[in-house]
Amino acid sequence: MSIRIASAVLWFLAGSGLAGGIALQLGLNQSIGLVVGAAWAAFILADPKDLIWRVGKRSSRSISGLVQVERAPEAPLHTGI
């Protein structure tokens, strides 16, 4: 859960900075950036459809379906004798 919170803080900073900069260039109030940043951080934190943060059984199933590990045949050791 701490990764979600840290990510939400970073997205808040990025979203508020970007939206505030755009608002400044357009001559609008810069507090629009805070609103946009807070909304984006809330969306990242909540993740309503589990698109960003996969939790539960789906994450282990999706990872096992993606990774297929095959071992290479082992070569005999040469000792140089």
State both tokens at 77.
């050791």
CA 70 to chain centroid, in Å, comes to 29
* Segment 25-76, tens digit of pLDDT: 999 998 999 999 999 999 888 876 777 766 665 555 555 555 566 767 777 7
Threshold 0.75, pTM exceeds: no
Residue 78: half-sphere exposure toward Cβ, Cα within 13 Å: 2
Angstrom distance (rounded) from CA 22 to CA 35? 13
Is 44 in contact with 8 (CB distance < 8 Å)?
Answer: yes
**pLDDT-based confidence at residue 9 (cuts at 50, 70, 90):** very high
